[in-house]
Amino acid sequence: MGDHGVAVLSARENLEFETDLQSDVAPLNHLVEAMMGAGEIHVLRDPTRGGVATTLNEIASQSKVGIELLETTLPVKPQVRAACEMLGFDPLNIANEGKLLAIVKAEDAEKILNVMKRRNMVKRLASLGR
């Protein structure tokens, strides 16, 4: 989470970090197709603009529900977390590429996660529960 946004900010502002942060831009069409074949997906969203926080707020507002996150379970690389802390940003609000948020039928969650794990492009997953 936040890799793309921090990498772009670093390049635009000529910031140098001790680690190499790169955008994780990637096509998701084949992953989404595989996920759809594995079970029922209620919501599928791209957290590019506004990051995960904005996307989840939009979903919650449109669905008239609340969403609670346990931040320690979120997949944020240590170098992204460190850059955000140094710059005063929250990784939840940083732009993303090559990522998606999916809300799926509880009974299908394990099947969908397994399909996602089998895809070569899937490097990190976070199952946030119910």
What pLDDT, on the 0 to 100 scale, is given for residue 4?
Answer: 78
pLDDT over threshold 60, residue 130:
no
What residue ranges in 52-126 does DSSP mark as E strands?
101-104
Domains of the chain: which residue ranges? 3-118
Per residue in 33-68, pLDDT tens? 999 999 999 999 999 888 999 999 999 999 999 998
Per residue in 60-108, pLDDT tens? 999 999 998 888 888 888 888 988 898 899 999 998 888 899 999 999 9
- Please check whether residue 52 is in contact with residue 1, taking contact to mean a CB–CB distance below 8 angstroms: yes
Quote the pTM value.
Answer: 0.79
The architecture CATH gives domain 3-118 = Alpha-Beta Complex (3.90)
For 5, the token pair is 């946004």
